[in-house]
Structure 1
Amino acid sequence: MATVIRLQRGGRKKRPFYAVVVMDSRNRRDGAFIEKVGYFDPCKDPEVIELDMEAIKKWTDTGAQVSDRVAYLIKQSSKA
């Protein structure tokens, strides 16, 4: 099974909220996920990024790919 760490959209119209999830790459964006490893709220000022870095490391070590946006969020959260 090819796994990917990516964003899953939630929230209402014009007020997005994203969960950072591990899922099968063949599932649709808001489909079933394996594990929730964090969240991202772009509507707050400043943006809120909460990530479980240990879980992300565990999944990447087992072969999960990280999406471009999640890689950017990991980089941003490590700066703070």
Structure 2
Amino acid sequence: MVKLRLRRMGANDQPFYRIVAVDSRKKQVGKYIESVGWYDPKPDPFKLNVDTERAIYWLSVGAQPTDTVRSLLRKAGVLQIWHERKLEAAKTEKTEE
């Protein structure tokens, strides 16, 4: 199963995270499939950058985000876009029947 999770980068006392798609059986520091964004919690307010299209792609093929990544995707507006696209696809599927 593929998961979207945070991978810690940065130096001591300067955390920086990448949001990555990774096989759930891999180690936290193991190889990842693709990086879909980054998160810097230090500045106030925090900095967040997400490649929306790639994040939606991974969600659409069944990748499960961790709780923290789900929260970050919600703040970036990715989950809202993904749900709207799912509803749109369901509507078009029903009208075709």
- Give TM-score scaled by structure 1 length: 0.91
Higher relative CO (CA 8 A, sep ≥ 6), structure 1 or 2?
1
State the Cα distance separating 1:63 from its structure 2 match. Answer: 1.0
Higher helix share: 2
* Paired residues for 1:1-80 under 5 Å: 2-78=1-77
CA distance in structure 2 between the aligned counterparts of 1:37 and 1:20, rounded to whole angstroms: 6
> What is the CA deviation profile of residues 4-27 of structure 1, one whole-angstrom value per residue up to 9, with x for unaligned ones?
000000111111000000000011
CA distance in structure 2 between the aligned counterparts of 1:59 and 1:74, rounded to whole angstroms: 12
How many residues align structurally? Answer: 77
* Identical-pair percentage: 38
RMSD (CA atoms): 0.8
- Give TM-score scaled by structure 2 length: 0.76
